[in-house]
Amino acid sequence: MGPPSSASSQPATPKVTLAEASEVRALDANIYSANFHKAFRIAMVPHGGYVATCFLRVAALHLRRSSRDQPDTMTAHLEYLDRTEVGPAIFVVEEMKAGRQTTVLQITLYQARDGVKNPLPTSAPWLPADGTAKREVVAFVKNTDFDKLEGLTLKTGFKLEPPPDAMPPSLARMRQGHDPLWCRYPAPAHHRALTQPAFKALEYYSPRAESKAGPTAAAGLLDRWIRFANGERFTRRISGFRGRRVAHDRRVLPPGPATYGR
């Protein structure tokens, strides 16, 4: 992973926002559609965090349409069973456990096996009658309404390690290259993942050596600030994308017996 740099070279910015590319539409009481955009792909496959964002938006829309109105995701477990593709997608929702405070949904993503020769139907029943649609991702999602939750607040021994710098980070200063503790992290030539469209949607910032979170702060620590290159804001409805945005570098992990297992 080379050293951080304040280089100002700007990657190509997707013309579509993530909010637009992850838009979902209700087709029936429990069936929803999306159209996976090429701007958020790795090679020819929609990025997993982008797909997850669509799942969370399906869950929020489904429960906003119900009397429970629980738009906020508490937990989500997704299993990627088959490769997704750019193009139309259908989500089928099953309510596994409906409650006053939380609801658990099972959501299944389908796409056509051959979107050119045999595209998905454009009217009900929305999936091919012959059962040839490809089941690609299955998710269990638990939703609630965060604004209505109440509970205990307990003291803990938690503290930030390493401790925060005295000067708070500023994304405005970072973008201009004027922040004394953080700088733009350019995509290294050898890091192919960061050259893919899904990663070009973001700008990455790394701590300089002068920061307490700098390269030698702690073994196994990878600290980043991220922002959308086009100025789009992160919101709850697109939070699934944020969780898988940093390309992993094994060199920040110390080698040892537990690293590789048996």
159 located within any domain:
no
Regarding whether 25 and 105 lie in a shared domain, the answer is: yes
Shared domain for 50 and 137, answered yes or no, is yes
C-beta separation of 140 from 76 below 8 A: yes
What average pLDDT does the segment 216-233 reach?
79
* Alpha-carbon distances of 47 from 19, 115, 137, 167, 243, rounded to whole Å: 15, 19, 13, 35, 12
pLDDT digits (tens, 9 = 90+) for 119-156: 899 899 999 888 789 999 999 999 999 999 888 888 89
In the block, tokens 């973008």 appear at 175
Q: What is the CATH number of the domain that holds 86?
A: 3.10.129.10
According to the model, what pLDDT value does residue 159 have?
85
Amino acid making up residue 113:
R
Residue 68 lies in a domain: yes
In a domain? residue 8: no
Residue 214 has pLDDT above 80, yes or no: no
Same domain, 176 and 141: no
Is residue 143 one of the residues assigned to a domain?
Answer: yes
In a domain, 7, yes or no: no
Q: What is the mean pLDDT of residues 158-179?
A: 86
- Answer yes or no: do 27 and 101 share one domain: yes
162, part of any domain? no
The last residue of a domain, from among 132, 147, 162: 147
In a domain, 155, yes or no: no
User: 111 and 190: one domain?
Assistant: no
Q: Cβ contacts of residue 97 below 8 Å, gap of 6+?
A: 103, 104
**Total domain count for the chain?**
2
| Digit-coded pLDDT (tens) for 57-79 | 999 999 999 888 999 999 999 99
Is 157 within the bounds of a domain?
A: no
- Shared domain for 140 and 224, answered yes or no, is no
Which alpha helices (H) appear in the chain, and where do they start and end? 18-21, 48-64, 171-176, 197-200, 239-242, 257-260
**Stated pTM of the model:** 0.80
Scored b (16 or more CB within 10 A) or e, 109-134 reads: bbbbeeeeeeebeeeeebbeeeeebb
The residue segments making up the domain with residue 234 are: 171-251
